Amino acid sequence: MLDTGATYHVCPKRDWFSSFYKLDGCFAIMGDDYPCKVEGIGTIRIKMFDGMVREVKEVRYVTQVKKNLISIGSLRVLGHGVSVKDGVLKMTRGSMVMLNPTQ
C-alpha cells in the first residue's frame, strides 16, 4: 500500500527480506498512536506489474501491521518523482527527456 503519511516503509513478512538486521527496543507509532515493535530493518524485493524486480531499502519489519506500507515521502527523499493525474499515481526516478524525432 502506498502511504503518503508513513515515515518509513513497513513489511510484516520476514521471508520477504533479502537482507536483515535485528533491532531491539525500537517502536513505530502508527496513525492511531499505537506503538508497534520494530523487530528489524532491511531490504525487500518487489515484483512490479511489468515483471521488473525492484529493491526497497530501509524497510522496517513490524509483525503487527496487516499490509506492506511503502512511504511516498521516503521515496521522494531518495529522488523519486511523484505525480497524480486523473486518479493515476506515477512515480519516476531520474530525468525523463522527450525527444523530437524530426530534429
Question: Which residue shows C-alpha cell 511523484?
Answer: 82
What's the mean per-residue pLDDT of the chain?
82
Q: Which has more confidence, 59 or 94?
A: 59
- Report the CATH fold assignment for 2-93: Cathepsin D, subunit A; domain 1 (2.40.70)
What would the DSSP string read from start to end of 23-59?
Answer: EEEEEEE-TTS-EEEEEEEEEEEEE-TTS-EEEEEEE
State residue 94's pLDDT score. 60
* C-beta of residue 59 within 8 angstroms of C-beta of residue 11: yes
* C-beta of residue 61 within 8 angstroms of C-beta of residue 41: yes
Q: Which has more confidence, 3 or 59?
A: 59
pLDDT digits (tens, 9 = 90+) for 80-95: 777 778 877 777 776 5
The pTM is what? Answer: 0.76
State residue 101's pLDDT score. 40
